[in-house]
Structures are given as C-alpha cells and as structure tokens.
Amino acid sequence: MATIPPLPANAAAWDQARNAFMKSILVDTPLATLAQDLDVPPWPVNAPDETPAAYVYLPYGQAVAALAARGLPPAQLGALIAILNETNAFDQPFGDMMAGGEPAPAGVVDEGSPLIKNLHKLALPADFPLEFSALSAGTLELCRNEGVTTLGDFVGFASRLSQTVIVGGDFRALLNALAQKDEAALARTLPLRVGQPGLHLLEAVALTLRTLPPATSEGLRATPPVIPSGLAARVTRLTVYFKTDTDAARAALNAGTPPARLVAVLGAPELEDLALILLRPHLPLPVATPEPKKVSFWARLFGRG
C-alpha cells in the first residue's frame, strides 16, 4: 500500500485541517479506523476514544500536548493532518444542495469513500430499500425528497454532503455506525445479524415489529390475529426482496425444522411468535388453532356454554 509522508506540522496547516473537519460526520470515528481505509500509515493508538474529536477542537499547542500525553511525538500531528485531509477529500460538497442548487445525481457515488468501503466490507446490499429500515418517518421523507431510496443512495449522498451541512438524529446515528462498522448500532436501523455478513429476512420482520404502534402489536396477539393490510403488504415485499432467505426458510420447514427453532436466531422471544404470524402466509407454517373453551361442571350440567 502506498503511504503519504507526514505533512509539516505547523499551526497554519493544523488550523486549516481541523477547521475543515469539525463538522464532519466522521469526527467521532476512531483514527485507527480512518487510517485503515486510507493510503496513510497506521495510527499508532487504537482506542474507541482516539478520534478526530479528541484533537480538532484544540489549538496547535494543546493538540501537540494531547499527542504527548499519549506518548506520541509532535511530528505525529503531521500524520493526523494527513488523515483529516485525506478523509475530507471524500466529503466533497454535494453540489449546492442546501443552497437550492442542483445536486449531483443520486446514483453517482465515489467508490473510494470510506463509507462505501465499509458498506462492501459488511456485505450490505446497496439496493436495500430504505423503506425497510427503522429510520424515522422524518428522515425517510428527507431522503425521498433528495431522491435517496436505497442504502447505496444513502451512503453516496452522505459521503458527498458539504462540510457545512449538520445532520443529526437517526441520520447521523446510521452514518456513525457505518463509519465505525458498529454492527450492534447498525442492527438498530438495518436488519443485520451481528457477526454475520449481509441483511436478513427474519431480522427485517423483527425490525418491522419493533417499529409498530402498541395497538397494532396487540392486534397481532389477538385470536385470530388482526393484521393491517399495509403491514401484510410490507411483509410480502420483504419476502420478495429476501427471496433467498424465504426459499431457505421454506426448505428448512419442509425438512422438519420446528418453526420456533427457525425464529430463535432473533434472540427476542417477545417477537418470535409475532414474526411467525406475519410470515405464515408465505411459509409452510401450521395454522394456529384456538384452545378449546373450558366449560365448568355446572355449565355442562345445565347445558350452558
């Protein structure tokens, strides 16, 4: 791998690099992770709190002192400047989007972006529809307004956002999770199975269940279950998108795998039965039968019940 020699560490170069990086969506990403995705030498300190945020808010002298406190020489500031500048090179302004100008086409992405690289490393499909995520309605509406409908669109959009654009909420949470390859955090928004690559049908159904209003969840637990048409249609679309998973689940059930074992991978007993209820129209699952009503002795004696 080619390396970039450390830049001269002086106050002017430091101020220019840190001021440009302060509003970056990657400001809380470990420097070791950023360096790993760039053609720069490895960052010598690998710790969750060893991030650009630990340095970029400090003036030159304090930044050098912070490095010294970690056992790093002043010259290491040059390497830090290189990391900040190289990372910033991927965060080019997204046209004049926020000023009312024409944005770049949503489908045009920089394959060298750290976010795009992490998408590939985690085997997350770029064509995954954002409508199947757990992003809030407001964030989804923002994305639709910008022509961003898939995970690939989202990452490409984010990697080109202007440094002057400040994002928050679940938008920023998803970006930070992608930047840090934090699978546990990603699983709160995407149907990801921690420790396994890609996205999965059962997790997508569970994610849908977690976002349902309480009244809808109660309806699913009723006998017979009450499934709103919109929810049923969403699950149908999920089984079509995750056709490979759907076919594998169907084959496993036909081979005798108990339904409870199929959904045990979710590790959430409160959701497993509900997931089976939603998937019943699409998989060879037994139809739930209500338990026979218990009749008391006196009711039987007098012909009641």
Phi, psi for 150 (deg, rounded to 5): -120, 170
Residues in contact with 76: Cβ distance below 8 Å, sequence separation at least 6, in sequence order: 6, 44, 67
DSSP 129: B
With H, G, I as helix, E, B as strand and everything else as coil, classify residue 91. coil
Instruction: Report yes or no: 189 and 135 within 8 Å, Cβ to Cβ.
Output: yes
**pTM of this prediction exceeds 0.75:** no
pLDDT in tens, 62-96: 999 999 999 999 889 999 999 998 877 654 433 33
Per-residue confidence band for 161, with pLDDT thresholds at 50, 70 and 90 = low
> Based on the number of CB atoms within 10 Å of its own CB, is 301 exposed (0-12), middle (13-18) or buried (19 or more)?
exposed
pLDDT in tens, 2-52: 444 444 468 889 999 999 888 777 788 889 888 876 778 899 999 989 999
Amino acid (1-letter code) at residue 68: A
**Nearest-angstrom CA–CA distance, 57 and 202:** 43
HSE, side-chain direction, 13 A CA sphere, residue 50:
17
With H, G, I as helix, E, B as strand and everything else as coil, classify residue 278. helix
